Amino acid sequence: MAKKITQKTKTAMPCVDPQERRHTFQEVANGYTDEMAMAEANRCIQCKNRPCIAGCPVEIDIPAFVQQVADGDFDGAYRTLSDKNILPAICGRVCPQEDQCEKLCTLGVKFEPVAIGRLERFVADHANAMGLHTDTASAPAPSGKKVAVIGSGPAGLTVAADLARMGHGVTIFEALHAAGGVLMYGIPEFRLPKTIVQREIHQLEEIGVELKVNHVIGRTFTVDDLFNELGYDAVFIGTGAGLPHFPNIPGVNLIGVYSANEYLTRSNLMKAYKFPETDTPVVRGRNVAVIGGGNTAMDAVRTALRLGADHAYLVYRRTEHEMPARLEEIEHAKEEGVEMVFLAAPVEILGNERSRVRTMRCIRMELGEPDSSGRRSPVPQPGSEFDIDVDVIVFAVGQGANPLIRSTTPDLHYNKWGNISADSKTGATEKKGVFAGGDIVTGGATVISAMGAGRRAARAIHEYLSNPLPDGC
Identify which of 158, 52, 163, 166 has the alpha carbon closest to the alpha carbon of residue 451: 158
**Single-letter code of the amino acid located at 173:** F
Identify which of 342, 309, 314 has the alpha carbon closest to the alpha carbon of residue 329: 314
**CB-based contact 387:361 (threshold 8 Å):** yes
Separation CA 311–CA 366 (nearest Å) = 25
Separation CA 195–CA 299 (nearest Å) = 18
In the DSSP assignment, the letter for residue 221 is B
Identify which of 399, 433, 434 has the alpha carbon closest to the alpha carbon of residue 419: 399
pLDDT of residue 470: 53
pLDDT of residue 140: 81
Q: Is the dihedral of CA 291, 297, 300, 304 positive or negative?
A: positive
Kindly give the pairing relationship between strand 357-370 and strand 386-389: antiparallel
**Single-letter code of the amino acid located at 372:** S
Q: CB pairs under 8 A, 24+ apart, for 191-194?
A: 191/27, 191/28, 191/93, 191/94, 191/299, 191/329, 192/90, 192/93, 192/94, 193/27, 193/272, 194/268, 194/272, 194/273
Separation CA 391–CA 351 (nearest Å) = 9
- Residue 369 CA to chain centroid, in angstroms? 32
Separation CA 347–CA 386 (nearest Å) = 10
In what helix (H) or strand (E) does residue 357 lie, and over which residues does it extend?
strand 357-370
Over the chain (473 residues), what is each successive 10-residue block's mean pLDDT? 75 95 94 97 94 93 97 96 92 92 94 96 95 71 95 95 96 94 92 93 92 95 96 96 90 95 85 57 86 96 95 97 94 97 98 96 94 88 97 92 89 91 95 95 87 95 83 45
Q: How buried is residue 405: exposed, middle or buried, by Cβ count under 10 Å (0-12/13-18/19+)?
A: buried
pLDDT of residue 278: 55
Q: How far is CA 199 from CA 194, 196, 297, in A?
A: 8, 5, 27
In the DSSP assignment, the letter for residue 104 is G
pLDDT of residue 473: 43
Separation CA 30–CA 40 (nearest Å) = 16
pLDDT of residue 18: 96
In what helix (H) or strand (E) does residue 359 lie, and over which residues does it extend?
strand 357-370
pLDDT of residue 267: 85
All structural domains of the chain: 18-130 (1.10.1060.10), 146-242+400-466 (3.50.50.60), 246-397 (3.50.50.60)
